[in-house]
Amino acid sequence: MKIVVIGGTGLIGSQVVTKLSEHGHEAVAASPDTGVNILTGEGLDAALAGADVVVDVSNSPSFEESAVVEFFETATSKLLAAEATAGVGHHVALSVVGTERMADKGYFRGKAVQEALIRGFSVPYSIVHATQFFEFLKGIAQTATEGDSVRLPPVLFQPMASEDVAKAVARTAVGAPVNGIVEVAGPEPFRMDDLIRQALAARNDPRTVVSDPKALYFATYEVDDTTLMPGPDARLGDVRFQDWLDRQLAAA
């Protein structure tokens, strides 16, 4: 099976390519680094020739709302049109658990536009909703930092390792289109403030985590215990946070 991975040289995409290749598929990494630009269409038709499945794990280079919306609107429209021309039978897109609950602003407005375009097009599809990655905890802490304090809401979330995200995306790509959403999450829930407190302490980071129910997620979104959590039917990853953290510290 030929599977083209848009964004295939990034954090998730490179792992998806590796996992698919290990299982005998022809996995093609498509990104500006390999001469494929989904905003301009450069190299897209050639990359999609003969493809059975297209996996889109690309992301906007800017998180400013209008830039994100423009990116996903332009890129997704061009990509879906090229897939229809190439006869692609399955479009797989990576999105985020909670998108529908935060779709009115910021980054999630762009993801909502992307998902609406996919649902409204003719190519059969599967949208993988993943929870936040362990790799993003540093960014969450950074956007919540005020001086020596990290102000975070004590809400539930269930982050996961990027390798489990890639595994879920690859598994979805080789399956039949669900024409809906597949949810994936980490194996255990945490309070956001508690987990980031653990992560900072493990790295001897001197900042103090302050629990604030009014604090905004990524300095933008009001969240509660339901906003970021997956549903009861979500597929859970294998990698636990402490095991992931131990590996990160050992590598450092």
**What architecture (CATH level 2) is domain 2-251?**
3-Layer(aba) Sandwich (3.40)
For residue 135, give the DSSP letter: G
Q: What is the pLDDT of residue 86?
A: 97
- SS3 assignment, position 30: strand
Per-domain residue ranges for the chain?
Answer: 2-251
Contact present, 169 and 210 (Cβ < 8 Å):
no
* Cα–Cα distance for residue pair 102/158, rounded to 1 Å: 17
CB 79 within 8 A of CB 44: yes
Would you give per-residue pLDDT tens digits along the chain (252 residues)? 999 999 999 999 999 999 999 999 999 999 999 999 999 999 999 999 999 999 999 999 888 999 999 999 999 999 999 999 999 999 999 999 999 999 998 999 999 999 999 999 999 999 999 999 999 999 999 999 999 999 999 999 999 999 999 999 999 999 999 999 999 999 999 999 999 999 999 999 999 999 999 999 998 999 999 999 999 999 999 999 999 999 999 998
Phi, psi of 219 (to 5 degrees): 60, 20
Q: What is the pLDDT of residue 252?
A: 84
Token digits of residue 210: 């302050």
